[in-house]
Amino acid sequence: MQKLVLMRHGESVWNKENRFTGWTDVDLSPAGYEQAKKAGELLKKNGYNFDVGFTSVLKRSIKTLHIVLEELDHLWIPVQKSWRLNERFYGALQGLNKQETIAKYGIMQVQKWRRDPNEDPPPITKDDERYPGFDPRYKNLTERELPLTENLSETMNRALPFWNEFIVPAIRKNEKVIICAHGNSLRALIKYIDNLNDEDVTKLEIPTAAPLVYELDDDLNRIRHYYL
């Protein structure tokens, strides 16, 4: 049996302000820093240690993992960062207040944008300052890989190759793995691991900085999962 720990980053500044964040690189809020510290303390209390970590290229995720590993005295382990674990790209919704967006478009439409695996938020254009092609961290991505908008299925399509190429081999080598990512990139992985249908995914809530433990068999099928 293998154990895998998944964790969403701590509360960000825009989580606190109830904004759509996506690939916008906002920092943790003070509460988010404290949440990450408590998550590390909880993992330490329960005897967890790790051989390798995986995270996105966004600071709220990177810092959360750093704080957790600091609590475990594991800052020395290798950590691999990838844009493929980034939050879903919310297009023109990025930066907008969710309640104001509901008031403008209606709750049903906003819920579709947020949770329907095949519903695209309104796209940005390539001259928009939010276009990731302007960001040096994405300079090696192809034009096709640079999103203008993204639904959950597309998030899953970019996350799963990273899962199969890097995370699965680490687990198969009996390495203890922690993944610190985002609500929707984690939804994509959980949908795959748990073989969830679209309706189940729309109901899936992932709290900030709460370690989610998966126990997997030798074929990496889920035995059970639980929050610490």
Contact 12, 30 (CB under 8 A): no
Which among 11, 71, 87, 150 is annotated as catalytic?
A: 87
Distance CA 146, CA 130 (A): 11
- The DSSP string of 47-99 is T---SEEEE-SSHHHHHHHHHHHHHTT-TTS-EEE-GGGSPP--GGGTT-BHH
129 catalytic per annotation = no
Structure-block tokens of residue 54: 């995986």
Contact 64, 7 (CB under 8 A): yes
| Number of other CB atoms surrounding residue 143 within 10 Å | 7
74 catalytic per annotation = no
Which among 9, 66, 74, 182 is annotated as catalytic?
A: 9
Structure-block tokens of residue 176: 């203890």
CA dihedral 55, 36, 192, 188 (to 10 degrees): -70
Q: Give me the phi and psi of 110, to 5 degrees please.
A: -65, -40
Catalytic residues: 9, 87
